[in-house]
Structure 1
């Protein structure tokens, strides 16, 4: 890949997704841990996050979405060790797509919106069931919206 790097915000999202996996007692970082980390960063950094503008534009209630994501997690009682928690194949795929999205947006860094676009593009089961149907958030309209505001 070209010299496109993760922004500080995106690195924070990736780190937070690992902490969330531990919190929900998962032994892998699932795509929904990434989504929850994106939402968390929207709330923590409202001025720096284009994804928050996306959620507002598409009239997504963040707290309701958080509840939807958390309900999607199985209640697991897996013992978590101190080892580094790996990504699932789907999560790895999403993170690889971020390079494509950043390049497509002519960005010098991979930002939160590129992670979110990649999540939508990867079409996880949660994405299909909740984001697409309940919130009407799909890849193309979100991509077009980002083009118009950046």
Structure 2
């Protein structure tokens, strides 16, 4: 098997206080590069947004998670750091509670997520932002190039 590695940046325009499923976009990128087996690391280059792997079947899970994070770190005049607005320091706290990087195994060019899992970018701020996620794949090239996956 031929070793391969790539590093690139994925730009994502976010909606305010939302979870953005990146699984399909990243999966398509792995397929287009003919990735085989290896490890994908995803890293968000911001301190007020995060990454998480969570359930993708019921959107109520995402809403409940966002609400729970708001209860843990509410916006308002509670913090010394307020230069960027009342939602900024709570966003930093939420990022500490979640994660800025994740490692996901890749098998035959596919993220090895569970049946009900997706990789999400979590926007903690109350305004939309342009976020950057660095993707680093280290592994092997697919034995045979695959045709693009059909769109759902």
Q: TM (normalized to structure 2)?
A: 0.28
Q: TM (normalized to structure 1)?
A: 0.29
Larger gyration radius, structure 1 or structure 2? 2
| Bigger relative CO (Cα 8 Å, ≥ 6 apart) | 2
Higher helix share: 1
Higher strand share: 2
